[in-house]
Each structure stands twice: as C-alpha cells, then as structure tokens.
Structure 1
Amino acid sequence: MTASTPAGTVHAVTAADQPSGGPLPVGPVAVLANPTAGRGRHRDLLPQLLERLAAAGRPVRLLTADSPARAEAACHEAVTAGVGALVAVGGDGTVHRALQAVAGTAVPFGPVPAGTGNDFVGDTGFPADPLAAAEVIAAALREGRSRPVDLASMTGPGGVRRWYGAVLAAGFDAVVNERANRMRWPRGPRRYDLAILVELARLRPRRYTLRLDGQPHEVDAVLVAVGNCASYGGGMRICPDADPSDGLLDVVVGGRFDRRTLMRVKPRIYAGSHVTHPLVRSYRARTVELTAEGITTYADGERSLGLPVRITAMPGALRLLR
C-alpha cells in the first residue's frame, strides 16, 4: 500500500494565512515570448495574443532575448524597471524563466500556454487554448484582480537559490534528461527515446536521504519527485494530490523498481494511479531536504541544481492573473 505519511506535525496553510493580493501595480505589461516553444506551432499567434493583452488598456512591451539565460535576465530587468505585470508565452521552460523574476514580488504574472508541456498552466486553472488564456489574463488586468498561489523555493550548494512552479524531478527522469542533453545525435524526440533506452540498461536504485520537516528518511529509489503542482512532462501526474494553494510540497518516491516493472508502471503516471503501487510512497511536508550522489535535478523541465538541495513551500509567493 502507498504510505501517505506526513513528516512531522504539519499544518496546512489556509486562505487566511495567504497574503492579500492588494491592488495591481500600475505600469506596462511585459511579455516574454518563446517563438520555438511547442516546435513553433503557435508562433503566428503572437500578434493576436498581444492584441488581446492590450485590450486590458495598458501598454504592452515585448521583451527580446536570444537565449534562455538572456530571457531570464530580460524578465529581471523588466521587473526592476517597474512593469505592472509579466506575461510568459511558451511552455513550462518559459514560465520557469519568468518565475525567477516575479517570485516573491508584487508584480503579477500570467502564463499563456504555447509549449509542448504546459503543466503549470493547467494545474493553476488556465485554459489550454493560448488565446483564451490571454483573454483571462487581460480580464484580470482590466478588473484589477490577482490570486496568490504557492511556489517552491530551492537552495543548492553554495547557497544558490531558484524557484519552480510545478515539479522537481530528481530520479530516473532527471537522469534521462541529463543523458539526452549530453547527446548530439539523433536530433528531436528520438534523442530522448535513445536516452531512455541507455539509462534503462543502467537502471539501479540510488540511496537518497530525505529530511521532511526535519525528520530523516533513508530510501533506495529510482523515482523521486517533489511537487508544488501535480504534473510534469506534459500531463504526467507524478504528484497527483499536490495543490499549489495548500502551503505544502508533495513528495513521491518510487522504490526499488527493476526495468520491467518501471516500464509497466510509468504509463500509469498520466492518471496518477502509480501512487497505489506497493513500491511507491508518498509524503507531504513544508520543507524537503534531498541528498543523493550524482543527481542533477530538473525543475519545470529545466536543468536546475545538483543535489543536495533544500526545498521549501512558499505560500502565496506568486500573484497570478486569473
């Protein structure tokens, strides 16, 4: 049976604990758009998206960037310059870059889904259609409303701090991503498929040390995920009970799977039914400390910090234009 075991005494954060949204800042709307998101299939929609956002009655400023690092820097510069809102048009990676700038600030944020995976958008209640999402954001701007949602703050070696909105992967999926990113051939999705085959052949449980609200757990596992939201990888509900408004993180650990069992269980992640497997354990905590050898984490699908990391649920850290 799955063990849904709280780590220590944890109290859920209620709406009364959440900070008040308050009036929206004045100023233009900055838009970060990734033209390559979703293999470029929504690229032609950008003029319509900007038009819908402009219907809120504010100037709209398109940020320019030629790399993910530059995109993140452009978001920071826009927030520092005093924009009234930040909108990200793209997938989870684009959202992840924008979150680094608005997390913990009064600048509200709106995500427009235009990527291959749009997990944060879906798990926070935005429409899957980009134009419909832009209209929701414009209406919130026009009516001066936002709602607070949680983010996860993680601190790695050397005190480096990052934020994420959806899920941190620190197991087999992170290892596969790391392998695929090192490969130069083949191009496209086949590279990821080949990386899966290579890492399946090398599959072995790793020893993880988890500290959940200060309580230590030693586990041998092949899958470890820490979710602020439920989904990653384009709809895989790895942490199916995660709620980005409860002030807590959901931790899902897949234990000593062999290759055959892992491949049988993996499709069940889309429905979230994998958590009933006897080798899967679930926990909930406000703070998660995670240690293992040789793991680089992936947060919101983006390469992130190497272990060890400390992850903390930050209630109401983001003002969402919805």
Structure 2
Amino acid sequence: MNIALLANPTAGKGRRAALLPEVVARLEAGGHAVDVVTATTRDGMVERGRAAVAGGKAVVAMGGDGTVHLGLQAVAGTGAAFGIVPAGTGNDFAVRLGLPGDTLHAADAIARSTGTRDVDLARVEGGDGTTAWFGAVMAAGFDAFVNERANRMRWPRGPQRYNLAIVGELLALRARRYTMRIDGNESVFESVLVAIGNTESYGGGFRIVPGADPADGLLDVVVAEPLSRLTLMRLRPKVFKGTHVRDPRVSTFRAKTVELAAEGVTVYADGERICPLPVTITCVPGALNLMC
C-alpha cells in the first residue's frame, strides 16, 4: 500500500514528534511505501491530503483530533483507506472508534491492516457556503464560545489560556435562542449548551453525547435548558461519565439530519472552527473507510 502520512509535529504539545521516524519505520516494515506529508497551514494539509487521494494513496493521520479532522476533509466519501496514529492530547475520535491509544501500537496495527471497516461521518453545510466533515462532536453552545474566546486570546499560552476562556465565558453566560429541525420537525428554544455527535466525546473524554454510535446512520443531539453558572459547572463533571443526560433539564435526540440556526454562534467540530450558524448537519453512513 502507498501511504500519505499526514504528520503534525505540534500535536500533543509536541511530546510525540520524536516518534515520527519510528512510526514511518513500522509502517514500512509492514511492506508499505510511506510519504510524509506536512504543511504550514490547515488548508495546505487538506490540499496535500486530497492530492494523495487523487494519486491513489491511502491516508494516515498522525496527530490529535485536529489533524484527524484535516485528514477527514481529504478522504471522506472518496473510498480511500484512512488510518489514525493518535499523537494528540485527547484523541477522542480514535478512542471512540476503539483504536489503539498508544502511538506506536497504532502504527503497528495499521502496518498489519488487511482491510477496512465502514464508519459514519457527519457532513456540515453552512449558510455561508462552508462545507466540512467531522467525525466526533460539533459544539454549538457554551463550549463553542469557549473555543472562540480562547482562539482570540494571545496570552497566556498552553492549557491556562483555555481555562481563562472558560472563566470569561462563565461570566458572560447567557442563553441563546435556537431554531432546530430534527429530520424536518422544527422546535424553537433557549439554551446554553447544544452539541451534535457522531461519536460520544470531545475535549479529551467529555462524553457529551453518550451512546453515539458511528455505525448506526444517525446523529446524536444534546440540548440543555438555560442554566445558571453554578448549575452548569456542577453539571460539567458528570459529562465525563455521560450521566448529565439524566438531568431533567437536558434533552437528547437522534436524527439523520439536523438543521440549526441562531444569531451570533460559531460552531466548532473536532475542536476546529467551522462556520457561523445556520448549518445543516447530515449523517453519511460509511463515508469513511477505516483501516482495521
């Protein structure tokens, strides 16, 4: 197999960058030809991934959820084989797909791969013309605002910036008015938390949409009623176990297609900025051919 290895040396704070030569060696030991692909921009990485697919290559993403997200833009719906070598901080998509969490073990598994399995992906179409795919979760509420704030901040660097962004968004917390169509059935509501998942978790293990199955042809939706700052923070630890959905103020839905609109909301998927609302999200069964 000819493999284009999309490698992000900064994933996981760069801790696993030194493993790149060993990952290449292990893939080559499986009889594969490996071309390491890097780029200085997100668009550049996607373009190089698409060029590899056009050239008949399989694509393997080595990095975190962000790197995997870029790889999905290149392979989704093409029939190209796709592999994941987790090297990020959270690696939510890989974990929920049951793939090896260790970087080198994952490389060994791909080297031995004899086939693929079908995995659903979510396709996003924005009102501004944006199109994108995601594998894990789209955030369209509090967590999306936290990401947006953190991306605007220039100080401090590292995890502390995200923590400060959480504090800032808690202070600014207010419910937004959403219009949502679940397979054509419309509802209008106010909420502080809206998430749509193909798999269960984001943010390094937050099981925001517990039970989401990337092989059932459906999206899972979680919506929380307007909550106070204190209630939101008390609910947040329950997300690690997925027990927040037992709270009567939290509603869940399943659908093939979700249309979502609100003023002043920019959505994030797989931790990456996508576009402002409105969006239409559609589950596309078997859009990904995952190496196994």
1:10 alignment partner in structure 2: none
Q: Secondary structure at the match of 1:261?
A: helix
User: What SS does the aligned partner of 2:112 have?
Assistant: helix
Measure, in 2, the Cα distance between the counterparts of 1:59 and 1:188. Answer: 36
Please report how far the alpha carbon of residue 216 of structure 1 lies from its aligned counterpart in structure 2 after TM superposition.
0.4
Quick check: 1:88 aligned with 2:58? Answer: no
After superposition, where does 1:9-158 map in structure 2 within 5 Å?
Answer: 27-83=1-57, 85-140=58-113, 143=114, 145-158=115-128
Q: Do residues 216 (structure 1) and 186 (structure 2) align? A: yes
Instruction: Report how far residue 112 of structure 1 moved.
Output: 0.8
Secondary structure of the corresponding residue to residue 148 of structure 2: helix
**Over aligned residues, Cα RMSD in angstroms?**
0.9
Match of 1:164 in 2: 134
Aligned equivalent of 1:231: 201
SS at match of 1:159: coil
Is 1:201 the counterpart of 2:175 in the alignment? no
Q: Which residue of 2 aligns with 1:22?
A: none
Does the CA contact (< 8 Å) of 2:178 and 2:190 recur in 1?
Answer: yes
The separation in 1 between residues aligned to 2:30 and 2:79, in whole angstroms, is 19
Give the corresponding residue for 1:320.
290
Distance 2:189 2:84 in 1: 36
The Cα shift of 1:100 comes to 0.3
CA contact (8 A) 2:86 2:103 kept: yes
Distance 1:87 1:36 in 2: 16
Displacement of 1:69:
2.1
Matched, 1:265 2:238: no
Q: Looking at both structures, which has the greater relative contact order when contacts are Cα pairs under 8 Å and sequence separation is at least 6?
A: 1
Question: 1:97 Cα shift?
Answer: 0.3
What CA distance in whole angstroms lies between the structure 2 residues aligned with 1:146 and 1:294? Answer: 40
Q: Which moved more, 1:264-273 or 1:56-65?
A: 56-65
Shift of 1:79: 1.1
Q: Is the 8 A contact 2:69 2:135 kept in 1?
A: yes
Which residue type is aligned with residue 6 of structure 2?
A: L
- Match for 1:41: what amino acid? R
The amino acid of 1:162's aligned partner reads A
**Aligned-pair distance for 1:217?**
1.2
Inter-partner Cα distance in structure 2 for 1:136 and 1:208:
43
User: Are the equivalent residues in 1 in contact too, given 2:5–2:62 (CA < 8 A)?
Assistant: yes
Tell me how far apart the structure 1 counterparts of residues 40 and 225 of structure 2 sit (CA, whole Å). Answer: 41
Alignment of 1:236-255 (within 5 A): 236-255=206-225
CA deviations over 1:186-221 (Å, ceiling 9, x no partner): 221111111111111111111111100000011211
Q: Deviations over 1:291-319 (max 9, x none)?
A: 01101100000011210000000000000
| Counterpart amino acid of residue 149 in structure 1 | V
Offset from partner CA, 1:73-128 (integer Å, 9 cap, x none) = 21111112221x10000000000001001000111100111001200000111011
Does the CA-based 8 Å contact 2:8-2:38 persist in structure 1? no
TM score, norm. by length of structure 2: 0.98
Give the CA deviation at 1:289: 0.2
Fraction of identical pairs, as percent: 58
Describe the SS at the equivalent of 1:57.
Answer: coil
Please give the alpha-carbon distance, in whole angstroms, between the structure 2 residues aligned to 1:236 and 1:31: 28
Residue 234 of structure 1: SS of its match in structure 2? coil
Matched length: 292
**Higher normalized strand content (fraction of residues):** 2
Matched letter for residue 82 of structure 2: F
- The structural deviation recorded for 1:71 is 1.3
Gapped regions of structure 2 (runs ≥ 5): none
Work out the CA distance in 1 between the residues paired with 2:275 and 2:54: 25
Following TM superposition, the consecutive aligned residue runs of length 4 or more in structure 1 with deviations greater than 3 angstroms are none
- Whether 1:302 aligns to 2:272 is yes
* Shift of residue 68, structure 1, vs aligned partner: 2.0
